[in-house]
Amino acid sequence: MEIDKLSVFKIKLKLVFMLPFRSEIRNSPTQQTIKIFLSDESLDEEIKSYLESFSDIELIEIRKSVERNRVKENITIFRKSGVDINSLQAKIDESLNRYFERK
């Protein structure tokens, strides 16, 4: 049986929206931060506690999201001085992927 392109697109779209989290690097006036958007906001505190063990992280805050069409809250991560933002994001993404695979 052949699957049409629209069906394949719908399947891929569902997979994207079912991700447990996504991260973005943001540029603020003072420094770059990493924002984590969780699909399940009830896990915000748990994930914040989990990430606090990273030695490259200076501060983690749970903030209200102001963007439209987004989750209501996000986890904002401030890196320590001298830490590469792209490397930190990769470490966080890898660690959270492992975290959610175990759940």
- Across 19-23, 30-34, 85-89, least confident range: 19-23
**Rounded Cα distance, 40 and 45, in Å:** 11
**Rounded Cα distance, 83 and 57, in Å:** 9
Number of domains the chain contains: 1
**Rounded Cα distance, 23 and 38, in Å:** 9
Alpha helix (H) ranges present in 18-58?
Answer: 44-51
CATH number for 76: 3.30.1360.10
Give me the sheet containing 32-38, strands edge to edge.
Answer: 21-27, 32-38, 73-79, 57-64
Domain coverage including residue 79: 20-102
**Cβ-count burial of 93 within 10 angstroms (0-12 exposed, 13-18 middle, 19+ buried)?**
middle
Which band of pLDDT confidence, cut at 50, 70 and 90, is reported for residue 52? very high
The answer to whether residue 52 sits within a structural domain is: yes
C-beta of residue 57 within 8 angstroms of C-beta of residue 66: no
What is the predicted pLDDT for the residue at 68? 64
The answer to whether residue 7 sits within a structural domain is: no
User: Once rounded to an integer, what is the mean pLDDT over residues 17-45?
Assistant: 91
The answer to whether residue 8 sits within a structural domain is: no
What is the predicted pLDDT for the residue at 28? 85
What is the predicted pLDDT for the residue at 18? 65
